[in-house]
Structure 1
């Protein structure tokens, strides 16, 4: 777990420095864990140069068995009795005419809890966008009412990987 924590910390610092460069006096609110978790799902579907670039950018190269470590961390963060609730909602929305590799779909479901919902981006991209937003709104108890703005997806879209994170205190304190 320590390797994954170190990789996430290094990525968080890289991301903060890059974002801060363009807005040095503004506030920045991000979840590096959510971003790296989503990109780890993308990493499942990459090979060659793309995999090498993602691995370097997210410091995954220093982590053995990255996907099972994310799976363990997700389970640990959502354990019963914690003084907080951290809900990570993952889902894939894929063009219904596209054939995704079964291994990719199995791994995203097993490691990240991300099921595939088939949608018609080709002929009804706006309906697909609305369905995605409705799912996110439900998963986040209305805290994220519109993840995707109009025009973000179109007939060329093949896959949308959704990753939304919300948190709140439960009122319990561990002693």
Structure 2
């Protein structure tokens, strides 16, 4: 598990570097969620694709692949999602596959075994075609006048209005909390101490 945690940490830093090209924007993501999802894809990859995924996920130190990598993810996710802790964290995994494609049953069984991920079969081709037809029909039926009317602030009856909801947390007792003033850019990492795995990371650049 140590080598896998190290690989995930390297992946997290590399992805943070890629996502942070625009230094004026804030970045926040969960490298563990992304790496575990890609690991499931890697389980069904072969040849050059598998080799590139080993490189992208920095799995060479973990043996470059194989069942032990997925066993490592299984143990890691089980430890992170462990009950009886002072936090509540649940990873939700699901695969979506084209229904006309015959997925190998062993692949689906392994995804279920190591990642607790079920396969949901969808008709992507039909969905894409229906969306394309709907968009083309909508555009064809809208004149310039109708577009202006649609985008008008008074067109609430024609389109769904934007609603802003404020969430307020109420505490049962008064509690003094330390003041955190974010007045300059910084990097941050949320780490699972027992496994040394980075769960979340990001960069604060602007309010």
Same fold (TM over 0.5): yes
CA deviation string 1:97-117 (max 9, x = no partner): 210011211111111111112
Within the candidate set 63, 73, 93, 1:90 is matched to 93
1:34 aligned residue: 33
Structure-1 separation of matches of 2:69 and 2:101: 27
Within the candidate set 69, 72, 76, 2:75 is matched to 72
2:10 aligned residue: 10
Rg (Cα) greater in structure: 2
Over the residues paired in the alignment, what is the CA RMSD in angstroms? Answer: 2.1
> Cα distance, 1:125 vs. partner?
5.0
Task: Using CA pairs under 8 Å that are at least 6 residues apart, name the structure with larger relative contact order, 1 or 2.
Answer: 2
CA deviation string 1:2-50 (max 9, x = no partner): 11110011011111111112x1122100111111111100100111111
Structure-1 separation of matches of 2:117 and 2:111: 5
Q: Quickly say closer, same or farther: Cα 1:124–1:26, change in 2 above 3 A.
A: closer
Structure-1 separation of matches of 2:128 and 2:113: 28
Structure-2 separation of matches of 1:115 and 1:71: 15
Residues matched between the structures, number: 128
**Which runs of 5 or more structure 1 residues have no equivalent in the other structure?**
128-165, 168-175
**Which runs of 5 or more structure 2 residues have no equivalent in the other structure?**
131-198, 201-207
Work out whether 1:48 is the aligned partner of 2:47: yes
More helix, by proportion: 1
Q: Quickly say closer, same or farther: Cα 1:107–1:123, change in 2 above 3 A.
A: same
Residue 117 of structure 1 aligns to a residue in which SS? strand
Residue 103 of structure 1 aligns to a residue in which SS? helix
Q: Which TM-score applies when normalising by structure 2?
A: 0.58
Work out whether 1:107 is the aligned partner of 2:106: no
